[in-house]
Amino acid sequence: MEELGIFVERLTHFMNIWTVYKDLLSGHYVPSVGTLDWSPTDARLTAMLVVYAYFYSLIETDQQGVNGFRIMREAFPEELSAINAVEKQTAPFMDDLRVFRNRLGFHGSRSRNHERQGFELFANFNGNELWNSILNFKALAATLLAKEIAIRKSDEAQTDFAKQRIAFIEQRAIAQTAT
């Protein structure tokens, strides 16, 4: 249970970072410093680096790290099929996301040559593929938690709604993985 609690906390931080990034992209939030030209001083670029790096930290396969897929499988074994579908959608990005996180997102590099490998994420995949996988991960994790809350409250309508939403997310992940 402790690990699930840690995952939920980290997921919440991720959702907050995601919200700031989406607000930046939509123009809802305009920073008071920097430029909006996707240069290194653009807050949108900074937010994107943090979103992708933090996303990897939620699905990292290192035994000492938080792996949301493993945690969700342990906490919600009845939803294994949906969890596996979203994990399968995310799997192709894992190695490039790890390098991106290490070279650009959090750890950084001492040279542009070393940093360059982090950008392979964008050379190997289009933005929609990664974006869709993040959306499905966020939606699945949040809906699994909502389902658990509904079950604890004995709210059958919300439990059923969550189950339908989980099935929808699973089917969407399968369809997006096939394309």
Q: For the segment 103-143, what is each residue's pLDDT rounded down to a tens digit?
A: 888 888 888 888 888 888 888 888 899 999 999 999 999 99
Q: How many domains does the chain have?
A: 1
Q: Name the band, by pLDDT with cuts 50, 70 and 90, for residue 15.
A: very high
Contact between 143 and 172 (Cβ < 8 Å): no
Burial class (CB in 10 A: 0-12, 13-18, 19+), 60: middle
Q: What is the pLDDT of residue 33?
A: 83
For residues 103 and 143, the answer to whether their CB atoms sit within 8 Å is no
Q: Contact 117/99 with Cβ under 8 angstroms?
A: yes
Confidence class for position 42, pLDDT limits 50, 70, 90: confident
Question: Six-digit token pair at 100?
Answer: 């991106």
pTM: 0.91
Domain that holds residue 125: 2-178
- List the one residue out of 45, 43, 52, 54 whose CA is nearest residue 13: 54
Residue 29: pLDDT band by 50, 70, 90 thresholds?
Answer: confident
Q: Is the predicted pLDDT of residue 153 greater than 90, yes or no?
A: yes
- Radius of gyration of the chain from its Cα atoms, rounded to whole angstroms: 17
| Rounded Cα distance, 162 and 79, in Å | 11
- Model confidence band, residue 84 (pLDDT cutoffs 50, 70, 90): very high
